[in-house]
Structure 1
Amino acid sequence: MSPEEREALARLLPSPGEPVLPNDRHDLLQEHLMRELAQDVTATSDVSATQETGTAPGPREPARRRRFALIAVPLATAAAVAAVAVLGMAGSDTPPTDQEAVDLLNRIATVAAEKKAVTVRDDQYVYISTQGSEKVEDVQNSGTQTFRRANWTAVNGKRPGLARITRLSGPALPGHDVPKGTPEDLTLYSDPNVTTYRELEALPTDPDALLKKIYADTKDDGSINRGQALERIGEMLADAKLLPELNAALYRAAAKIPGVSVVRNAKDFAGRPGIGLSFKDRDDRDTWVFDKKSLNYLGSDEVAVLGAGVVDKVGETPGT
């Protein structure tokens, strides 16, 4: 084998900085290479004999062409297997990034940041109106209930609020046999799992710092399972509409989480059409829905946000 051929073969092997083949594939490749080198010696001897005696070595192909053809096949196969393995591992940990979806999230963030901030007092209440559904599992009456709900939550979380729930369809929850279409008022106590307006207000508005805090608060490592962080961001979007800087930061933080894709024709739970964003790492893979023109957040395909604002008393709605 000439020095040029040895150098060509060396270039086909992975360099130290490239992904390393599995041990079994490496051993197999090395064994095959040594076998081919041995055959090459024999072929070279045959060629020498031909030159000396003028006798052809038999039906064997020319040594150089056969050697490179045989070595190239297992090397290419091994490289392909290694590439598939690397891509498979990366795909299981880090979903691909859809640049169109990232750009859309950043445009939504820009629109959100331009909203006018509202001055809020501790003695006021945050009003959020939603429409969603809930599974009812009862021995006599089971199914899915569709409801409309209005929450009045104290700005500082230190006073009881009010939840007004209206069943639109489906079975009633056990112990809540209120006729369909009739509002049922329930006292809304402070929930440690719910972030109050003041707590939202205290969150960082730098997207990187915000995402780092969300990862820490949800014990989400941010590499393999990003579902918990996305769940937390989704839970804050309705209330964050009242805090433009935080609202924008939440969308920009979400844009840093891989696996987002655009759903061009989406609908929120109330049936309002819009453009959607879906995240691979959400367990339920729900879709955030935005108005196509204004890019205002409408809710998701599981919960529609019908209204949000700040009022002085429970039972009031913004503008009344």
Structure 2
Amino acid sequence: MIRTPWRRREEPLDHAELRRLLPAPGDPELSSDRLRGLEEHLMTEIRNRTPDTAPDTAPDPLVGPPPAGAPAGDRASRPGRRSGRRPVLVGVAAALALAAAGVAALAGGPGGSGGSENPGRVAAPPAGAVPAPVVQVVRGSTAGLAGAVADISGAAARAELPEPGPGQFLYIRSEVSGLVSWEGSDGKNRSYVDKIHPREVWMSPDGAKGWLLEPHGKGTGRDGITLDDPEGGERTLNSPSHAYLKTLPTDPSLLLEKIYDETRGMGNGPDQQAFGTIGDLLREQVVPPKLAAGLYRAAARIPGVVLVDDSVDAAGRHGIAIARTDESDGSRTEWIFDRETFAYLGERTVQTRDAEGIRAGTVRGHTAVTGRAVVDALKQRPAGSAPGGDRAGAPAAPSAGT
């Protein structure tokens, strides 16, 4: 190989020529750990998901196989589909705000360390965040799943739920907490969560008007944000209204087929997305009784769904849980039900294995539904309900099946 000999330039480079030879400076970028943290926070807001180190995912013969037409894991995705409900815009806003803060820190702006030895890292966790609780991993199993689902769906079908009239609004109050990832000054990620705080949602039956109040959360401010949809967008499983839910089939096979079809190509695989979609409907809606019963029976047919003997919601209430582990990140989402009445209490998401800086047993997020009602005006609370910024003692148990 013939090498061209290096020759010394006889004239120095001027500034303009030097700039042409050097690469253009790039924009500040988030570290991979910080970016993963933001993604975790966003997904927690969207799906809000007790660990399962070795879940029994064998199909339960009493529950039955997936319905005809349910897609396998390799079915082609459908481009252009969008998932997520309008209240999830809060999570998007929070993630964008955190991302902006991260870039500012890397650039030496507020919250950053500028010329310190560890640029882009902050010495304290985010305001209002506390160390994420770590719980013992509880194994899930298909044993007993069919019987539990029969009890839960039966209670749901018998539930007496509020039905909104013209001009009225559905009101849902819950206690919530979500994951916050923080990179300390030593460069290590630590799992923090928001302090448990109230969240209130008002929605018109047709979904055209709504309001979200979460003053201790991120992205809503003290006065909350609008959920209005003046253009009257199309209602789907991922953007439902109460009126839309009343049009859905209640047969479990038909329901599951529709869920798989509408969510094809979304999320971390069709089975996990189907489970997450049902969970979203249960968490912050007033689901008609027969539909709620059908949704529980449909969920039991999703591969990987198990029964967990003990779980705890954000209000500290214990119950049994229908759960599924997302194998992509090791997080298990549990829907929690009262042991006696089989009423829906809330949801918890726990890490089942060490992954992405999150240790097994970490509670990534949990919720507790503390009230569902019908009110006459936007931002109006039911009689006896505490303001959104206050916690009025022990929450009352929600109606069965919701």
- If the TM-score is normalised by the length of the shorter chain, which range does it land in? 0.5 to 0.7
1:289 to 2:339 alignment: no
Q: Residue 272 of structure 1: which of 297, 310, 317 is its match?
A: 317
Structure 2: segments with no counterpart, 5+ residues? 1-56, 61-141, 185-189, 349-365, 385-402
1:125 to 2:169 alignment: yes
Going from structure 1 to structure 2, the CA distance change for 1:311 and 1:242 (only over 3 Å counts) comes to: farther
Going from structure 1 to structure 2, the CA distance change for 1:175 and 1:139 (only over 3 Å counts) comes to: farther
Higher relative contact order (CA 8 A, sep 6+): 2
1:155 to 2:209 alignment: no
Partner of 1:189: 228
Cα distance in 2 for residues equivalent to 1:303 and 1:220? 27
- How many residues align structurally? 214
Amino acid at match of 1:263: V
Partner of 1:318: 382
Amino acid at match of 1:232: T
Amino acid at match of 1:145: D
Q: For the Cα contact (< 8 Å) 1:109–1:252, is it kept in 2? A: yes
Aligned positions of 1:1-320 closer than 5 A: 95-97=58-60, 98-136=142-180, 144-146=193-195, 147-159=197-209, 161-167=210-216, 173=218, 176=221, 183-190=222-229, 193-219=238-264, 225-239=270-284, 241-281=286-326, 284-301=331-348, 302-319=366-383
Q: What is the CA RMSD across the aligned residues, in angstroms?
A: 3.1
Q: Offset at 1:128?
A: 1.0
Q: Offset at 1:296?
A: 0.3
Per-residue displacement from partner, 1:168-223 (whole Å, max 9, x unpaired)?
xxxx74794xxxxxx533222338743111111111111111111111111169xx
Q: Offset at 1:246?
A: 0.7
SS of residue paired to 1:230 = helix
Cα distance in 2 for residues equivalent to 1:204 and 1:163? 29
Normalised by the size of structure 1, how large is the TM-score? 0.59
- More helix as a share of residues: 1
Q: For the Cα contact (< 8 Å) 1:265–1:274, is it kept in 2? A: yes
Q: For the Cα contact (< 8 Å) 1:126–1:311, is it kept in 2? A: yes
Going from structure 1 to structure 2, the CA distance change for 1:175 and 1:261 (only over 3 Å counts) comes to: closer
SS of residue paired to 1:128 = strand
Going from structure 1 to structure 2, the CA distance change for 1:174 and 1:150 (only over 3 Å counts) comes to: closer
Per-residue displacement from partner, 1:249-285 (whole Å, max 9, x unpaired)?
1101112113222221210122211112221357531
Percent identity among equivalent residues? Answer: 32
Going from structure 1 to structure 2, the CA distance change for 1:136 and 1:287 (only over 3 Å counts) comes to: closer
Q: For the Cα contact (< 8 Å) 1:155–1:196, is it kept in 2? A: yes
Structure 1: segments with no counterpart, 5+ residues? 1-93, 177-182
SS of residue paired to 1:184 = coil
SS of residue paired to 1:227 = helix
Q: Offset at 1:117?
A: 4.8
Q: For the Cα contact (< 8 Å) 1:151–1:163, is it kept in 2? A: yes
Per-residue displacement from partner, 1:83-107 (whole Å, max 9, x unpaired)?
xxxxxxxxxxx74431411221121
Going from structure 1 to structure 2, the CA distance change for 1:232 and 1:120 (only over 3 Å counts) comes to: same
Amino acid at match of 1:153: M
Q: Offset at 1:153?
A: 1.0
